[in-house]
C-alpha cells in the first residue's frame, strides 16, 4: 500500500469518526426523551452510510439499477440526517455557552445599574460643590468690601469711615457655614467615587472569574466586524460546518477505496509480469525441476488400456493437446500443455509427467511455462475424477510417479474400474 493511500485512510477514518460522534450526539440531544435508542439507531446508520458509499463505488457496474437508485437515495438521505445531527450538536453547544453568557451579562448589568446611580449622585455633588465655591468667593469679597460705614460727625462736621461689626459678624457666619457645607460635599464625593470604583472592580472580577470571555471572544470579534448579532454569526458558522463535514467524510472513504483498488491492481500487474501468479491468481513458489530417476526403467511407463485401441487413445490424447507443429512429432518425449489449452509448452523426456524440455512458441510464454506446473500437477487437482486425466498420458505418468505412492488409488490402468 502506498503512503498516500495509508494516509488517506487514516484521515478518512478520523473525519468519519468525528462526524459520526457529532451527528449521534446532536441527534440524541434533539430527541432527549429516547437518547440511548437514538444513539443505537444513529450509530448503525452511520456505519451503513460508509459501507454503502464503498459498496456503490466497488460494485457500481455490477448491481441492478433499482438497487443502485435506492442505495444512492439512501446515501444522500443519511448524509442529510448526519448533517442535521451535526448542526444540532453545534447549536446546542453554543446555546449552553449563550445561557452562561446571559447570566454573566445580567450580573454585570445589575452592577452597572448601581454604578450609574452613584455616578448621578457624584454629578449632583459636583454641582453643589461648584455652587458653594461661588458663594464662598462672594462672601469673601463682601467681607473685604461691604463691612465699612461712612457718616458726618456733627461736632466736627467731618466725613467719618468706620467698620460695621454687625455686618461683618453676619458675613463671617455665612462664610463659615458655606465652607462646612463644601467640606461635607467633598466627603460625599469621595464616598461616591469609592463606590463607583468598587463596582468597576466587581465587573472586572465577574469577567475574569469566568472563561466565557475567552470562549466567545472570536465570536464577539466576528459579530463586531460583520455588524451582525452573535446568534446569527454562530448560525452561519454552523451551517458551513454542516455542509462540509459529513459529505467530506463520505468522499474520503470513497477516495480511500479508489486508491486501495488502484494499488491492488498495480500490485497484481507487477506480480503477473514477474510470473508470481498462477492462472487463478494462486501464488506458487518456484520449484526446482525434478531430476530423472536413474533406478526407474523406461519400460515401466503405463500402457494403454486393453479394451481401448491404441489408435483411439492416441487420437484422444492429441485431441486434448490440440494444435501442434509438425516438427513436434519428431521430438523425443510426450508433448505437454501446462494449462490444457492445446498449446504445447514443452516435452516430458523422463516419463514423470513434468516438462524437461521447454519449447513454447514465444519467449514470454516460455518464461511463463518455466515457472508453472501442468494443470494436473497443481495443488488441489481432483484425482478422484478420472475423466479429467485418464486419457492424458502425461497425467498418468505424473500420477504413477508422484501421486500413487501417497494414495490408495489403483495403479493398474489396463482395466476399467468404473
Burial class (CB in 10 A: 0-12, 13-18, 19+), 24: buried
Alpha-carbon distance of 418 to 406, in angstroms, equals 21
Q: What are phi and psi of 409, to 5 degrees?
A: -70, 155
Alpha-carbon distance of 152 to 139, in angstroms, equals 28
- The SS3 of residue 283 is strand
Q: Is-contact 125 192, C-beta < 8 A?
A: yes
Nearest Cα to Cα of residue 231 among 103, 105, 98: 98
pLDDT average per 10 residues of sequence, the chain (418 residues): 83 89 87 86 90 88 88 92 89 82 84 89 88 83 62 51 66 82 88 89 79 72 83 87 88 88 83 60 50 51 49 46 46 74 78 78 73 80 80 84 70 51
Phi-psi region of 210 (alpha: psi -120 to 50; beta: other; left: phi over 0): beta
3-30 and 35-58 helices, crossing angle to 10°: 150
Residue with cell 443505537: 40
Burial class (CB in 10 A: 0-12, 13-18, 19+), 288: exposed
CA 290 to chain centre: 55
Percentage helix, strand, coil for the chain under 3-state DSSP, each rounded to 5: 70, 5, 25
DSSP H helices, 31-150, are 35-58, 65-145
Q: What are phi and psi of 302, to 5 degrees?
A: -65, 140
Alpha-carbon distance of 19 to 54, in angstroms, equals 17
**Residue 276 pLDDT:** 58
Nearest Cα to Cα of residue 412 among 318, 314, 336, 307: 307
CA 346 to chain centre: 56
pTM: 0.46
Amino acid at each position: 500500500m502506498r503512503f498516500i493511500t495509508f494516509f488517506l485512510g487514516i484521515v478518512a477514518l478520523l473525519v468519519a469518526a468525528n462526524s459520526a460522534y457529532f451527528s449521534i450526539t446532536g441527534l440524541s440531544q434533539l430527541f432527549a426523551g429516547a437518547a440511548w435508542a437514538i444513539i443505537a439507531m444513529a450509530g448503525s446508520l452511520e456505519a451503513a452510510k460508509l459501507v454503502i458509499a464503498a459498496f456503490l463505488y466497488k460494485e457500481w457496474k455490477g448491481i441492478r439499477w433499482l438497487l443502485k437508485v435506492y442505495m444512492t437515495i439512501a446515501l444522500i438521505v443519511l448524509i442529510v440526517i448526519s448533517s442535521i445531527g451535526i448542526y444540532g450538536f453545534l447549536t446546542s453547544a453554543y446555546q449552553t455557552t449563550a445561557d452562561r453568557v446571559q447570566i454573566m451579562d445580567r450580573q454585570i448589568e445589575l452592577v452597572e445599574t448601581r454604578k450609574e446611580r452613584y455616578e448621578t449622585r457624584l454629578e449632583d455633588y459636583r454641582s453643589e460643590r461648584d455652587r458653594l465655591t461661588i458663594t464662598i468667593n462672594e462672601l469673601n469679597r463682601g467681607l473685604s468690601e461691604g463691612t465699612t460705614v461712612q457718616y458726618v460727625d456733627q461736632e466736627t462736621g467731618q466725613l467719618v469711615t468706620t467698620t460695621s461689626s454687625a455686618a461683618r459678624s453676619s458675613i463671617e457666619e455665612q462664610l463659615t457655614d458655606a465652607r462646612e457645607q463644601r467640606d461635607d460635599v467633598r466627603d460625599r464625593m469621595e464616598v461616591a467615587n469609592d463606590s463607583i470604583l468598587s463596582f468597576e472592580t466587581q465587573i472586572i472580577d465577574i469577567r475574569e472569574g469566568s472563561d466565557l470571555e475567552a470562549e466567545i471572544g472570536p465570536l464577539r470579534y466576528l459579530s463586531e466586524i460583520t455588524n451582525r448579532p452573535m446568534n446569527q454569526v454562530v448560525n452561519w458558522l454552523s451551517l458551513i460546518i454542516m455542509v462540509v463535514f459529513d459529505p467530506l467524510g463520505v468522499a474520503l472513504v470513497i477516495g480511500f477505496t479508489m486508491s486501495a483498488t488502484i494499488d491492488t491492481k498495480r500490485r497484481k500487474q507487477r506480480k503477473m509480469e514477474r510470473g508470481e501468479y498462477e492462472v487463478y491468481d494462486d501464488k506458487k513458489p518456484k520449484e526446482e525441476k525434478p531430476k530423472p530417476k536413474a533406478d526407474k526403467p523406461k519400460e515401466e511407463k503405463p500402457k494403454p488400456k486393453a479394451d481401448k485401441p491404441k489408435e483411439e487413445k492416441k487420437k484422444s490424447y492429441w485431441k486434448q493437446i490440440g494444435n501442434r507443429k509438425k516438427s513436434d512429432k519428431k521430438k523425443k518425449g510426450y508433448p505437454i500443455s501446462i494449462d490444457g489449452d492445446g498449446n504445447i509448452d514443452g516435452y516430458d523426456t523422463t516419463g514423470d509427467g513434468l516438462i524437461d524440455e521447454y519449447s513454447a512458441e514465444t519467449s514470454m510464454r516460455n518464461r511463463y511455462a518455466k515457472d508453472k506446473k501442468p494443470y494436473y500437477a497443481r495443488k488441489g487437482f481432483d484425482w478422484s475424477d478420472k475423466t479429467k486425466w485418464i486419457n492424458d498420458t502425461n497425467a498418468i505418468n505424473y500420477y504413477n510417479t508422484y501421486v500413487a505412492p501417497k494414495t490408495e488409488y489403483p495403479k493398474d490402468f489396463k482395466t476399467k474400474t468404473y
